[in-house]
Amino acid sequence: MQTQDSSNWSAFVAGAFIGAGVALLLAPQSGSELRTSLRDYASRAKDELGEATEQGQAMWDTAVERGQEYVEGGKQALRNAGRSAREFVDETAQTAQKTADTAKKTAEDAVSRRG
């Protein structure tokens, strides 16, 4: 989606430059006035391109930062899940051991009462 937005923005900017250039060329001005207008237009376009580049870089930096935050969050979630699984296994093993010990004691008591 971001690639599509970028190409839409690029097409818009290119169209604006072409349209402005054609308008300047067709406007009834002397050669020196036209050259001055073109220079001014080119200077403004350069400034706007610089601003757009800065905004694009800021957006890129923000996207990278968010991506890193999501990755770190995912790592933390995996660590927490692993820790929870380990605790569950330990608790289950302890419960199983207690159940086995209780069953063994019950069996030993039953044997000793018979014997």
Domain borders along the chain are 2-114
pLDDT tens digits, one per residue of 72-112: 999 999 999 999 999 999 999 999 999 999 999 998 888 88
pLDDT tens digits, one per residue of 4-62: 666 677 778 778 878 877 776 776 767 788 788 878 888 988 888 888 899 999 999 99
Round to the nearest angstrom and report the end-to-end CA distance of the chain: 81
Q: Give pLDDT, residue 63.
A: 95
pTM exceeds 0.75 for this model: no
Phi-psi region of 19 (alpha: psi -120 to 50; beta: other; left: phi over 0): alpha
pLDDT tens digits, one per residue of 58-72: 999 999 999 999 999
CA distance 64 to 1: 16
Q: Give pLDDT, residue 3.
A: 62
Asked whether residue 2 carries a pLDDT value surpassing 60, the answer given is no
Q: Give pLDDT, residue 115.
A: 62
Q: Give pLDDT, residue 96.
A: 93
Closest CA to 63 of 78, 9, 55: 55
Q: At what angle do helices 2-26 and 31-114 cross, to 10 degrees?
A: 170
